[in-house]
């Protein structure tokens, strides 16, 4: 067995191959496990195994982990909605549907590809070649503002503000149900124990503190429009917290109801305001992005409560 291979012993009779691998190698996504099996990289008794194969107790699976494919992150001439730019940073209004940085399945067409074309070599290198300039991120189907650092000094200053919770981030959202009063969700978040693509509220050693403040903007029949302010910035934080209190974000295919509002093409969530202390001048700066058309079009389909 090479350093890139793994041996997995089946500890439960009749366990499926894909489930056994996911349980033993949680660092692999479900799609990565499926691709390994379909690609003939998983063996049982010397032969490739099917993902649905039910294995006897004590069986040994050999999983070949192919060498990581080196990423060639290329500049692409993709239009950017730049709200502000100077020699140290940019504030970009990201459209819904754009991935922030390259990853498996999204090597092109990302915000990073566009930034490399726009900025050339003038991006911070703290987060490596895959995420140059990226100080924080928002989900693919979340629209709105994020900040990009052009040098390492600016990156460090901005990252410190995020860590100290002095970095202002406000979102706009439409959620299911009627919320009567403003409130706060203070509930720790960690990776979901069964589904590695999801996050969940958990009381576990790996969970990290997460705090979301929400403010009612308008009530509609069956929905509420909110303004939300992040005190922390965990993965999927708003989506997880709102689902946790019984008010998932409209259109959310991961944390929302099974019957998804497909016309939204993802969650109705917009990073509408960002504020920070400029790393060079020390001045506080704040920027706001108006609600995008997909959001306002959805609001027009809702009936206000009287």
- Which candidate, 39, 38, 49, places its Cα nearest to that of 8? 49
Q: Which residue out of 18, 88, 139, 252 is catalytically annotated?
A: 139
- Which candidate, 182, 198, 195, places its Cα nearest to that of 254? 198
Rounded to whole angstroms, the Cα distance separating 37 from 64 reads 10
Q: Tokens 């992150």: give the residue.
A: 73
Rounded to whole angstroms, the Cα distance separating 288 from 125 reads 27
Residue 252 annotated as catalytic = no
Rounded to the nearest 10 degrees, the angle between the axes of helix 17-24 and helix 30-38 is: 130
Q: Tokens 């429009």: give the residue.
A: 225
β-strand partners of 271: 144, 171
CB 271 within 8 A of CB 138: yes
Task: Say how many C-beta atoms besides its own lie within 10 A of residue 3's C-beta.
Answer: 6
Structure tokens at 227: 């303004």
Active site residues: 139
């Amino acid at each position: 067995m090479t350093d890139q291979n793994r041996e997995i012993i089946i500890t439960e009779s009749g366990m499926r191959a894909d489930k056994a691998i996911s349980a033993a190698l949680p660092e692999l996504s479900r799609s990565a496990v499926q691709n390994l099996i379909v690609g003939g990289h998983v063996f049982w008794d010397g032969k490739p195994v099917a993902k649905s194969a039910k294995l006897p107790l004590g069986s040994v699976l050999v999983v070949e982990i192919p060498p990581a494919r080196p990423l060639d992150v290329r500049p692409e001439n993709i239009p950017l909605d730049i709200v502000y730019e100077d020699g140290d940073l940019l504030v970009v209004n990201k459209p819904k549907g754009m991935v922030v940085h390259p990853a498996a399945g999204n090597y092109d067409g990302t915000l990073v590809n566009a930034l490399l074309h726009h900025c050339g070599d003038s991006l911070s290198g703290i987060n490596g070649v895959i995420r140059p300039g990226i100080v924080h991120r928002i989900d693919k189907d979340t629209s709105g503002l994020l900040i990009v650092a052009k040098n390492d000094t600016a990156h460090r200053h901005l990252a410190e503000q995020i860590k100290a919770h002095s970095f202002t981030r406000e979102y706009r959202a439409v959620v299911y149900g009627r919320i009567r009063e403003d409130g706060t969700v203070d509930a720790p978040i960690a990776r979901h124990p069964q589904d590695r693509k999801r996050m969940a509220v958990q009381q576990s050693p790996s969970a990290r503190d997460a705090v979301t403040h929400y403010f009612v903007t308008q009530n509609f029949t069956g929905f509420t429009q909110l303004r939300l302010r992040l005190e922390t910035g965990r993965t999927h934080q708003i989506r997880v917290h709102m689902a946790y209190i019984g008010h998932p974000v409209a259109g959310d295919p991961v944390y929302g109801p099974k019957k998804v509002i497909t016309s939204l093409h993802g969650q109705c969530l917009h990073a509408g305001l960002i504020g920070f202390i400029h790393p060079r001048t020390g001045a506080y700066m704040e920027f706001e992005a108006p609600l995008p058309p997909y959001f306002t079009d959805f609001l027009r389909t809702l009936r206000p409560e009287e």
